[in-house]
Amino acid sequence: MNETNNNKLITKIRILLPGIILCSILAIIASFMGKYAFGLGSTTVALLLGIIAGNTIKYTPLLPGIESVEKKLLPFAIAVLGVQLNLLDLQALGSKAILLILTIVPFTIILSLALGKFFGLTKSQSILLGSGNAICGSSAIAGVNKVIKANQEEVGLSIAAVNLMGTIGLFTFPVILKLMDFSQEQSGFSLGGSLQAVGHAVAAGFGMSDDIGKTAIIIKMGRVLMLGPVVIILGIINSKNKIQKDDNIKVALPVPLFIIGFFAMSLLSTFVLTNENTISSIQHIGKTLLNIAMAGIGMRIVFSALIKQGPKILCVEIIIGAIMFGATIALSSILL
């Protein structure tokens, strides 16, 4: 019996390994290229490399491994990345910061749904764009997709568009804030409340000053914390929709394991891990795993979908990003 199980395991590994190796190689290349990709970051580069590879090579024998990194590795990567959220940092969030976060996150998702409907995007595409902008870029899109189950083209396009907008904002938002003569606290609130990925907020904030950077990262971490509640709410809505379609479906409380893992890693980072190098190493592992999964997602996106939907999604994303930045500026001016 044991020998039979071992043979099955070896066979399964042989089937999965080629696809996993290819995605890993693309992720390693992306980690180096991301440093010189004009602020796009390694996650977006991994996605783009995956798209290029998937549209230039015949990868049918690699498909089981590619699907494995997407379905199995991605949730684990998101959970591991919870280590970047130190809950004690959130003590610095005053009532004004909390109000900004609780306003801007639902506002952005609702705005995305409205714009998506106007431009003819699918509801799932709109939710992905809204979540990526409102919370934390690629990680939020990947997390939300675990409950709404969008197709791979929608996921890939959302990640590319949101990260591109974040890169644009990284360079343009600080200039606008300087021209407006905002205070350091207002600038930190505006950058932390509007930029898409943690890296964007860190780079833009500390690029202006240390005080602005510290404020921006605290606000941004507050938005990251919203990933759990948003995924749970979307899971509940999705479950209700399934129940309405089929009365025989029984749905448990939709709290995905990766969200539990995300908060568990946050608690570990807050109360157990005291060495910054250890936390940084774990975060690096999580980012690497995320990049491997992104390469796998990219390999399943065809150019025809990019050409057909890309311009429309990019247009929606630019409008979302601009309005979101304007809203955070307005809120920062009112609150501070």
Q: How confident is the model at residue 79 (pLDDT cuts 50, 70, 90)?
A: confident
pLDDT digits (tens, 9 = 90+) for 279-302: 888 888 888 888 898 888 788 777
Q: Which residue has the tokens 């796009």?
A: 40
What is the C-alpha separation between 76 and 71, in angstroms, rounded? 9
Name the range with the highest mean pLDDT among 92-96, 127-131, 145-149.
127-131
Q: Give residue 259's pLDDT.
A: 72
Q: What is the pTM of this model?
A: 0.73
Question: Lowest-pLDDT range, 28-42, 133-147, 168-182?
Answer: 28-42
At residue 284's C-alpha, the angle toward residues 52 and 196, to 5°, is: 65
pLDDT digit string, tens, across residues 200-215: 787 788 778 878 887 8
Please tell me the predicted confidence (pLDDT) of residue 107. 95
Q: What is the mean pLDDT of residues 73-80?
A: 81
Nearest CA to 130 among 320, 280, 269?
Answer: 320
pLDDT for residue 139: 80
302: helix, strand or coil: coil
Provide the pLDDT for residue 256.
64
Place of tokens 């590319």: 160
Asked whether the beta carbons of 100 and 216 are under 8 A apart, the reply is: no
d(CA 332, CA 336): 6
- Average pLDDT over the chain, rounded to whole? 82
CA distance 245 to 243: 5
The residue type found at 175 is: V
Short-list 311, 324, 291, CA closest to 40: 291
